[in-house]
Amino acid sequence: MFDSLQELVEAAQHTGKTISEIVLADQAISINVPDQELVKKMACDLQVMKESVNTGLQQVLRSNSGLSGGNALRYRQAVEQGTAIAGAVLSQMLMKALAASEMNACMGRIVAAPTAGSCGIIPAAVLTIAEERNIPDHKVIMSLFTAAGVGLVIAKGASISGAEGGCQAECGSASAMAAAALVELAGGSPHMIAQACAIALKNIMGLVCDPVAGLVEVPCIKRNAMGVANALVAADLALSGIESVIPADEVIAAMRSVGEIMAPGLKETAEGGLAATPTGIRLAKRILGDA
């Protein structure tokens, strides 16, 4: 496994391969599984991503807590009626991110990418751009290896756990992973992928994890929509040649540092942030009782 994004980028540049090809080969050796077996597994993950999005967009999903549900379909209707103002690509990404996240809140089948709380960001990004540009599934599957490689580096250099690093470690990491996949799907270079990751992580630096009633619903679902929007911004900037002044690996190290000094009440404990607002407390009492 690579210790840094720079190592990953240099390996791709030295061999003339894509980051996805480098990650696939590295993982096949690391866990002693043939390349094609890993590709088949990733194809299954892509199919689950598609199903979670499609179900969320076709049905009014309601969580047992009553905190969430129905927003993906509501936003889809707004897009179809022409009242949404985000534009074609971003609108599609937003509705898909909401759909997959609502599936998670309703205990539906999703792909934790990299976590259940951030499950809507990567599917929304790659499925939308694939539809917009008629990209075949095999290329989308390979882009997921790029996302996975970025996630592995972040997990090693910082964290992908909200309990460890706040939501910057969950939605932030997912956003960086999605940005990386988008850049590769759009034909960007390995260097551009690293820039997109750095930009995405910088934009969500310090984001706290403050789930109301300790459930992965409020504000998590809407943060998935924000996360995919951030991924699109970061990817587009990087593809245009805009670079991060702070290198990606230094951004990851900074994210780790921020997570270490973040107050425990802001790291998945439901003791601070939005969870500690009057409304958040009232909702928690309604759902959990006085315990």
User: Helix (H, G, I), strand (E, B), or coil: what is residue 208?
Assistant: coil
Strand partners, 209: 267
Mean pLDDT (the chain, rounded):
97
What residues contact residue 146 under an 8 Å CB cut-off, 6+ apart?
18, 19, 20, 23, 180, 181, 184, 193
Per-residue pLDDT tens, the chain, 291 aa: give them. Answer: 799 999 999 999 999 999 999 999 999 999 999 999 999 999 999 999 999 999 999 988 899 999 999 999 999 999 999 999 999 999 999 999 999 999 999 999 999 999 999 999 999 999 999 999 999 999 999 999 999 999 999 999 999 999 999 999 999 999 999 999 999 999 999 999 999 999 999 999 999 999 999 999 999 999 999 999 999 999 999 999 999 999 999 999 999 999 999 999 999 999 999 999 999 999 999 999 865
Give pLDDT, residue 205: 98
* Contact yes or no for 2/153 (Cβ under 8 A): yes
Q: For 31-82, what is the HEC assignment?
A: CCCCHHHHHHHHHHHHHHHHHHHHHHHHCCCCCCCCCCCCHHHHHHHHHHHC
Query: What is the per-residue pLDDT for 247?
Result: 98
Any idea how long the chain is?
Answer: 291
Closest CA to 43 of 144, 155, 175: 144
Query: Distance between CA 126 and CA 44 in Å, rounded?
Result: 15
Q: For residue 267, what pLDDT is reported?
A: 97
pLDDT of residue 291: 53
pLDDT the model gives residue 61: 81
3-state class (DSSP) for residue 210: coil
Question: What is 91-117 written as a DSSP string?
Answer: HHHHHHHHHHHHHHHTT-----SS-GG
Task: Note the pLDDT of residue 290.
Answer: 66
- The CATH fold of domain 5-288: 2-methylcitrate dehydratase PrpD (1.10.4100)
At 91 the pLDDT is 98
With a threshold of 0.85, does the pTM exceed it? yes
Between the CA of residue 51 and those of 59, 79, 194, what are the distances in Å? Answer: 12, 20, 30
